[in-house]
Structures are given as structure tokens and as C-alpha cells.
């Protein structure tokens, strides 16, 4: 059986979550239906989170005897998951209650930075522990297609993160809203993005990616962080809402790329929706 075969009930749950996200985007497109759209978004996310927790519930297998296997729950992993959910819920709820509507653009920029950072962390985790993500071939090397997915997800996520941090700082008054124009900035941006693409191609074609060629992943990631910074600093504060919209699209494509690495159809659907919206 295929290691990545999907249970039909799981596929159905992710499909329902995707439909909820589509309805959420439709509702959020107009002030009179924005509350309803927000509810659909919450329902869809709840379905996606619960489904993911169910199919990846931390279970341990302990060999008690040569022919006896004891199945139990990994209590430490459960506590880590609950702690992560609690921390995120507290931060989100506290921030949403305190933030003024006039400060919504910088709040959105801050949340986009977290999406980008999450994509980077998932890609790094897949790079460091490919066996845990099921992306190894028969020779024990990372699959070429998974290398591309990892690199693109990490690069887009890094650009989204650093770009969103700059957008937040400009909108929030933490740095000057005036454009910062570097000499030959277009050449620098083009050269840096080209370098990321070349490194990605070399890493995908490397015969033993993940071993001696591992530096390529970290080099591309560092360059991507720089690109996010370089792309946003020349833009003035008055144009930041447009930048936030662009970064929103980037965060969606980063999530979609990581969805392929995680074999998670809900992330692919949601990321594509956000990216194209």
C-alpha cells in the first residue's frame, strides 16, 4: 500500500474544510457578510486542525516481548501539542481584543510573518528529519521532488517573513515609512533571486542531497530572508497596504508548497486559495 494513501474520511474532512475556506473568502469580500465569512473560516480551520491531530495522534509502540507489542500514548508529545495550541490561542485572542481597527493592516502583516516563519520551520524540520516526513527514496536520500518543494516553500516563507516584518515596522511606526533606495537595487534583487533558483536546481539534482550538499538549503534560505528585506524597504509607507496584500499571496503559496511536503491536501487547497486571492 502507498505510504501516502489517504483515508477517504480524511479526504472528505479536508474537502469540507476547503469548501469552508472558499465560503470564508467569499464572505469576507463584503462588509455585510464578513462576520459569516469569518465563521466559515473558523469552522474550516477547526475541521482541518482536528483532522490533522487525529491522523497524526502521537502513539508509542513498546516491545514487551518477542511477540507482544504494547501500544500507548506519547504523553510528552500530547502536552507539547496542547501547549502550542494554547499559546497560539492566547496570543491570537489577546491581540484581536486589543487591536484597533485602524491598526488592522499591521496586524495582518504580523500574522503573515508568522505564516512565512511556519513554512520555514516546517521545511527545516523536513530537511533535518526527512524520514519522519516520508520523503526518502529507496536509497535513503531525499526525493528530488521533495527537495524542490522544501526549497521553494522555505524560500517563499522566508521572503514572506522578512518582508512582513518590514511592512509591520513601517505601518506601526517602528521605522521610517520613507522609501530606502539602494544603488543598483534591481540588479541586486534579480541576482539574489536567480541565485536562489540556481541553488534550488543544483540541490534537486545533487546525487546525495541532505549530506554534503546540505549547505545549499541554508544558503538559499539566507538569501531568501535577504530578498524579503530588499523587496520591501524601497516601498513607502503609503503603499504598504498593497504590499500586505502581495505578502498575503506569498504566504498562501508558501503554505501550498509545504502542503505537498506534508502530503496535506487541506494546506494545498487553502494555500492555493490564499495565494490566488
- What is the per-residue DSSP string for 139-202? TSSB-HHHHHHHHHHHHHHHHHHHHHHHHHHHHHTSS--S----TTHHHHHHHHHHHHHHHHHH
Phi, psi of 178 (to 5 degrees): -70, 145
Look at residue 261 in the predicted model and tell me its pLDDT.
81
Residue 182 has pLDDT above 90, yes or no: no
What percent of the chain is predicted at pLDDT more than 90? 25
Do both 245 and 148 map to the same domain? yes
Q: What sign results for the dihedral spanned by CA atoms 92, 96, 99, 102?
A: positive
Residue 211 has pLDDT above 60, yes or no: no
Look at residue 20 in the predicted model and tell me its pLDDT.
92
Name the band, by pLDDT with cuts 50, 70 and 90, for residue 2: very low
- Asked if 3 and 131 count as a contact pair (C-beta separation under 8 A), the reply is no
Look at residue 229 in the predicted model and tell me its pLDDT.
92
Name the band, by pLDDT with cuts 50, 70 and 90, for residue 210: very low
Do both 90 and 104 map to the same domain? no
Do both 1 and 69 map to the same domain? no
Do both 108 and 223 map to the same domain? yes
Residue 117 has pLDDT above 70, yes or no: yes
Do both 25 and 43 map to the same domain? yes
DSSP state of 208: T
**Which of 129, 138, 150 is CA-nearest to residue 257?**
150
Do both 122 and 144 map to the same domain? yes
Look at residue 1 in the predicted model and tell me its pLDDT.
39
Do both 82 and 13 map to the same domain? no
pLDDT in tens, 10-23: 888 988 998 998 89
Phi, psi of 172 (to 5 degrees): -90, -5
Find the helix or strand (DSSP H, E) in which 65 lies. strand 59-65
Do both 1 and 40 map to the same domain? yes
Give me Rg for the CA atoms of the chain.
21
pLDDT in tens, 75-109: 777 888 889 889 988 988 888 888 887 788 888 88
Give me the number of domains the chain comprises. 3
State pTM to two decimals: 0.83
Do both 24 and 149 map to the same domain? no
pLDDT in tens, 131-149: 888 888 887 888 888 888 8
Do both 234 and 196 map to the same domain? yes
pLDDT in tens, 31-84: 889 899 999 999 998 998 888 888 877 666 555 656 665 666 777 778 888 898
Residue 252 has pLDDT above 90, yes or no: no
Provide the domain limits for residue 126: 100-277
Residue 165 has pLDDT above 70, yes or no: yes
Do both 28 and 108 map to the same domain? no
Phi, psi of 204 (to 5 degrees): -65, -30
Do both 138 and 232 map to the same domain? yes
Instruction: Go through 39-53 and write b for each residue having 16 or more CB atoms within 10 A of its CB, e for each that does not.
Output: ebbebbbebbeebbe
**Rounded mean pLDDT, 136-165:** 88
Look at residue 59 in the predicted model and tell me its pLDDT.
64
**3-state DSSP call for residue 66?**
coil
Residue 254 has pLDDT above 70, yes or no: yes
**3-state DSSP call for residue 226?**
helix
Residue 158 has pLDDT above 80, yes or no: yes
Dihedral of the alpha carbons of 247, 147, 129, 124, in degrees to the nearest 10 = -30
Look at residue 191 in the predicted model and tell me its pLDDT.
94
What distance in Å separates the CA atoms of residue 210 and residue 134, rounded to the nearest whole number?
14
Look at residue 80 in the predicted model and tell me its pLDDT.
85
Amino acid at each position: 500500500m502507498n505510504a501516502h494513501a489517504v483515508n477517504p474520511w480524511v479526504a472528505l474532512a479536508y474537502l469540507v474544510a476547503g469548501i469552508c475556506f472558499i465560503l470564508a473568502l467569499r464572505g469576507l469580500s463584503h462588509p455585510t457578510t464578513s462576520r459569516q465569512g469569518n465563521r466559515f473560516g473558523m469552522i474550516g480551520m477547526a475541521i482541518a486542525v482536528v483532522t490533522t491531530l487525529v491522523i497524526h495522534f502521537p502513539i508509542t509502540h513498546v516491545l514487551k516481548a518477542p511477540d507482544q507489542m504494547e501500544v500507548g500514548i506519547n504523553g510528552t508529545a500530547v502536552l507539547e501539542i496542547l501547549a502550542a495550541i494554547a499559546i497560539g490561542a492566547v496570543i491570537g485572542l489577546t491581540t484581536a481584543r486589543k487591536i484597533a481597527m485602524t491598526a488592522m493592516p499591521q496586524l495582518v502583516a504580523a500574522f503573515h510573518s508568522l505564516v512565512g516563519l511556519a513554512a520555514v520551520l516546517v521545511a527545516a524540520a523536513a530537511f533535518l528529519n526527512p524520514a519522519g516526513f516520508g520523503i526518502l527514496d529507496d536509497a535513503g536520500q531525499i526525493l528530488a521532488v521533495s527537495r524542490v518543494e522544501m526549497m521553494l516553500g522555505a524560500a517563499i516563507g522566508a521572503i514572506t517573513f522578512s518582508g512582513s516584518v518590514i511592512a509591520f515596522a513601517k505601518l506601526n511606526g517602528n521605522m521610517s515609512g520613507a522609501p530606502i533606495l539602494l544603488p543598483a537595487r534591481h540588479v541586486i534583487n534579480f541576482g539574489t533571486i536567480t541565485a536562489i533558483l540556481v541553488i534550488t536546481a543544483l540541490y534537486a539534482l545533487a546525487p546525495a542531497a541532505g549530506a554534503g550538499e546540505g549547505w545549499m538549503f541554508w544558503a538559499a534560505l539566507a538569501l531568501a530572508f535577504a530578498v524579503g528585506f530588499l523587496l520591501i524597504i524601497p516601498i513607502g509607507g503609503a503603499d504598504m497596504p498593497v504590499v500586505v496584500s502581495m505578502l498575503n499571496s506569498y504566504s498562501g503559496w508558501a503554505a501550498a508548497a509545504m502542503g505537498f511536503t506534508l502530503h496535506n491536501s487541506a494546506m494545498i487547497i487553502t494555500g492555493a486559495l490564499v495565494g490566488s486571492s
